[in-house]
Structure 1
């Protein structure tokens, strides 16, 4: 099905690896012009630039540390310049995670994760407001951990819950302007980190978590991208303030 996304303009934060990369490439293949960003140079950055060049379109991979408010401001200013003052789709994908017993969770680590996962998303949205217009879609990447709760990830789970509250409130505030805000809550997705594991560990993880899903398997970045693209399309023009699970029916 053609979602009629060709010519739309998108900003996807943290799009050089994992789920973000899958979203960026899927959008580009659908004819969307995409800006994405990264924090540190790596082969992932260079390879994404090559793939986007081969795909064709007006794509840019920019460096920006989203823990720095000034760099967020500069990123959105540059995005506005590239796209002529317009963004049709904003995807808050950049995030971080760590696994720490709650009793040992330091203020510094709490603040680091909160800054990257919540404050950065808030600032990206705020700076994007002048670029968002009628029909624009804002999608934040959340987690099913909000419903399930996961030991050693209390700080991470709290940030993903915050994104749900932020999106629901913004959906109400900007609904009259026909700007939509939704969260895509992920289950276990096969990314580069999964494929870097030793084969035995990979098979064990796939079996363990796949068994918890209705579909009996893990998800892929392309399947996450499918949900994001639907939310960017006119098919979802009456969908806002929602959390949509892309989790294979995990429980």
Structure 2
């Protein structure tokens, strides 16, 4: 099925590893031009740059710390000057956090909130003026934000906040034909075994109705659907990509 993404202009945060990388390569493979960023992993950035050269389009991989408003401005400026505007924005950059609430320091709280929520706001705020009529914004959240998990309160709070943001801002930009939706992944196997001990890995698979963990490509496919004109009447929605946990 043609997703009608050829020639579209996309900006993706956190696009050099894991789910973000899968989203970038899927968009480029569908014919979109993509600007993405990384914070510190230059090797992953160089690897992605090589892969993108094998696809058509005007692609750019930019170093930026999205917690810094000046870096966000510089990153988004690349999209303006190189692509002339945007049709798609995907906020996929994020960090995990695991600690009992009683042990979460203010530094750890800020690390998670600044990356998962403040950076999300900064990027969207900066890209709104560049969005064409009919553009699509997709946020990558986490399904645990609706279920909760002991030891991850600050992480789940950062992701749950995105849901409220999506449902509010879609009402603001809807008159421009701009759609905002959220993809909510479950346990995603971004590395072999999902970085889990074998016995935990098997137990996690059992939680899903489909009896497997998700892949980065599963999430990327959902993002592409919401970014495409095939979802032209879908906004303010959350698409759970969790295998039926």
TM-score calculated relative to the size of structure 2: 0.96
Stretches of structure 1 lacking an aligned partner (at least 5 in a row): none
SS at the partner of 1:54?
coil
How many angstroms apart in 1 are the aligned matches of 2:240 and 2:231?
15
How many angstroms apart in 2 are the aligned matches of 1:206 and 1:29?
31
* Contact 2:194–2:201 (CA under 8 A) maintained in structure 1: no
Stretches of structure 2 lacking an aligned partner (at least 5 in a row): none
- Per the alignment, residue 120 of structure 1 pairs with 119
* Contact 1:206–1:217 (CA under 8 A) maintained in structure 2: no
Which string of whole-angstrom CA distances, capped at 9 and with x for unpartnered residues, describes residues 171-191 of structure 1? 011111111111100001110
- Per the alignment, residue 16 of structure 2 pairs with 16
Deviation at 1:54, TM superposition (A): 1.4
- Per the alignment, residue 139 of structure 2 pairs with 140
Q: Does 1:96 align with 2:95?
A: yes
* Contact 2:10–2:88 (CA under 8 A) maintained in structure 1: yes
Moved over 2 A (4+): 194-198, 203-206
Deviation at 1:31, TM superposition (A): 0.5
Give the CA RMSD over aligned residues.
1.3
* Contact 2:193–2:201 (CA under 8 A) maintained in structure 1: no
Deviation at 1:225, TM superposition (A): 0.9
238, 241, 244: which one aligns with 1:246: 241
Deviation at 1:42, TM superposition (A): 3.1
Q: Where in structure 2 are the equivalents of 1:144-159 lying within 5 Å?
A: 144-159=143-158
Structure 1's 204 and 128: CA in aligned 2 closer, same or farther, altered over 3 A? same
How many angstroms apart in 2 are the aligned matches of 1:87 and 1:96?
25
Deviation at 1:196, TM superposition (A): 7.6
Deviation at 1:107, TM superposition (A): 1.3
Deviation at 1:45, TM superposition (A): 1.2
Q: Where in structure 2 are the equivalents of 1:159-238 lying within 5 Å?
A: 159-192=158-191, 194=192, 197=195, 201=197, 203-238=198-233
* Contact 2:23–2:220 (CA under 8 A) maintained in structure 1: yes
TM-score calculated relative to the size of structure 1: 0.94
* Contact 1:27–1:34 (CA under 8 A) maintained in structure 2: yes
